[in-house]
Amino acid sequence: MVLESLGRALHGALRKLSRAPHIDERAIKELVREIQRALLQADVNVELVLGLTKRIEKRALEEKLPPGMGRKEHVIKIVYQELSEFLGKPSELALEPGKSKVLLMVGLQGSGKTTSVAKLVAHFKKRGFKVGTVCADTFRPGAYEQLSQLGQQVGVEVFGDPKAKDSIKLAKEGVKRLKDERLELIVVDSAGRHRKEEALMEEMRQIAEGIKPDEIMLVVDGTIGQQAKEQAAAFKSATEIGSILVTKLDGTAKGGGALSAVAATGAPIKFIGVGEHIEDLEPFVPERFVARLLGMGDIETLLKKIQEVAEEEKLKPADMKAILAGKLTLRDVYDQLEAMSKMGPLKKLMQMIPGMSVAVPDEQMRVGEEKLKKFKVIMQSMTPQELENPKLLHASRIRRVAKGSGTSEAEVKELLKQYDLMRKFIKTFAKGRGPKFGPWAKLMKEMKGALPDFGSGGKTS
Ligand SMILES: Nc1nc2c(ncn2[C@@H]2O[C@H](COP(=O)(O)OP(=O)(O)OP(=O)(O)O)[C@@H](O)[C@H]2O)c(=O)[nH]1
Ligand SMILES: [Mg+2]
């Protein structure tokens, strides 16, 4: 488990809070102290800890309770939000089918670059992308062998030459060749071993200049704790770091230090390494990560409720209006499934629309839990463009998505059909073609509260 001790300590602090008879200033101060202790033990920088806990304390003491939420839940929600914020903004590595993205991996010796190269290509291969790697490490003996063995395990091409001396030339050749092969993700491994750090940085700069990568990803060893900050800063000042991958978060007590230190540099953490094996890679989503750190045992129910409320907040009236105007994208659907406790707002909304359960066959309306899970996996294999504009999904893309998600084409098509149905239905009702009387009228009235000018017709396209 990742950062087990930090998770346990934070969880313990919140459990104590949830057991307190009532939440007064003392209980909040006690909670804040325990969070401080937990974070310091995870090697998080003192100043960062103080800043964070000050914010938590201030909000917990001063913020007004949202309707329908108890004081305890509210405090837990604040902790959850602030910790998520603390770990940076979520950001993903987005690929586009048919386009080449070149990713240059940099980092100090032994940070886990080569392993991460293999993990990354495996990750995206599984999602149906054409991927390959270039070994531009001409410094470390056996670098090419290491990567080509990993490449074999994953089943991807590794461009390299164990005898080459000029890493810049090699990197350029490799990238050109794999681009010609129309690979969609080309990950370039670079050397971490050098006589001097100066020379390493210089080589990195030259490779970057030679291959013009779409993104430079810095690999940082999570076991170094808050020292990661200086390291990230040094790389950032030498070249343009687009994102960060923190490795070895399995079994280190210092992971909290590394993650928070790196997040503080402003470059988004996109992945974390949690083991030596190829599949030990996770996209880093701060909120999900924090939820996992905190969420277990008896506070789980509380967290669930918090998430529900947070999701409801996320679905702002503006989004609601767009959705009701028929602008429901697959991403909206995905977000809903993500939010999915069984009563996600969209489902609630659907249930509020009278006639819905009749017009949409029962079976389709209550797609089983299993199917929803499958749909989510399918959507994870789609590109952002496809999620925004599902019309793009013609036969070959459907095939790719099915392959990438380990489902069948029929299942992908079924999802698209469901989506279409949902969209049309909502649109029809939003246009007011639904029942003009009885429960529908009542619904309109109820909605007026949430959607200030919904009654004036809303947008119709
Ligand atoms: N436990 C654990 N070990 C890891 C992880 N990532 C990498 N390693 C190990 O760290 C060691 C170094 O990894 P490499 O991928 O060779 O590191 P590198 O940055 O390419 O090293 P150089 O090429 O010498 O600069 C190996 O023993 C890996 O198995 C991780 O997430 N967890
Ligand atoms: Mg290496």
Question: Superfamily assignment of 4-89 in CATH?
Answer: SRP54, nucleotide-binding domain (1.20.120.140)
* pLDDT tens for each residue of 13-29: 888 887 888 889 999 99
| Span from the CA of 147 to the centroid of ligand 1 (angstroms) | 12
- The whole-number pLDDT of residue 436 equals 42
* Ligand 1 atom 17: residue of nearest CA: 112
* pLDDT tens for each residue of 64-97: 987 777 788 889 889 988 998 999 988 999 999 9
Type of residue at 63: E
* pLDDT tens for each residue of 397-451: 999 999 988 999 999 998 898 888 777 766 665 555 444 443 434 444 443 333 3
The average pLDDT across 297-313 equals 50
Bridging pattern class, strands 269-273 and 281-283:
antiparallel
* pLDDT tens for each residue of 208-247: 999 999 999 999 999 999 999 999 999 999 899 999 999 9
Q: Is the CB of 99 under 6 A from ligand 1?
A: no
Residue 433's beta-bridge partner residues? none
pLDDT-derived band at 342, boundaries 50, 70, 90: very low
In Å, what is the CA distance from 217 to each residue of 195, 247, 295?
Answer: 22, 12, 30
Q: Tell me the C-alpha distance between 190 and 143, whole Å.
A: 9
48-54 contacts, C-beta under 8 A, 24 or more apart: 48/86, 48/260, 48/261, 48/264, 52/82, 52/83, 52/86
Checking if the pLDDT of 320 tops 80, the result is no
Q: Is the CB of 306 under 6 A from ligand 1?
A: no
Mutate to test the pocket of ligand 1, among 108, 115, 117, 189 (most ligand atoms within 8 A of CB): 115
Which residue intervals of the chain bear CATH 1.10.260.30? 315-456
| Span from the CA of 256 to the centroid of ligand 1 (angstroms) | 19
Which residue intervals of the chain bear CATH 3.40.50.300? 101-284
The average pLDDT across 253-262 equals 90
In Å, what is the CA distance from 186 to each residue of 53, 133, 384?
Answer: 41, 5, 19
| Span from the CA of 36 to the centroid of ligand 1 (angstroms) | 31
Q: Is the CB of 90 under 6 A from ligand 1?
A: no
Q: Where are the beta strands (DSSP E) in 107-214?
A: 131-136, 157-159, 185-190
Q: Is the CB of 280 under 6 A from ligand 1?
A: yes
Q: Is the CB of 119 under 6 A from ligand 1?
A: no
* pLDDT tens for each residue of 397-412: 999 999 988 999 999 9
- CATH number of the structural domain 315-456: 1.10.260.30
- CATH number of the structural domain 101-284: 3.40.50.300
pTM summary value: 0.67
- The whole-number pLDDT of residue 311 equals 59
- The whole-number pLDDT of residue 395 equals 92
Residues around ligand 2, an ion, CB closer than 5 A:
113-114
In sequence order, which residues have a C-beta less than 8 Å from that of residue 15 and are 6 or more positions away?
297, 298, 299
Tallying the residues shown for the chain, one arrives at 461
Q: Is the CB of 222 under 6 A from ligand 1?
A: no
| Span from the CA of 120 to the centroid of ligand 2 (angstroms) | 14
- The whole-number pLDDT of residue 242 equals 95
* pLDDT tens for each residue of 182-206: 999 999 999 998 777 888 899 999 9
* pLDDT tens for each residue of 90-124: 899 999 999 999 999 999 999 999 999 999 999 99
Average pLDDT of the chain is 81
Which residue intervals of the chain bear CATH 1.20.120.140? 4-89
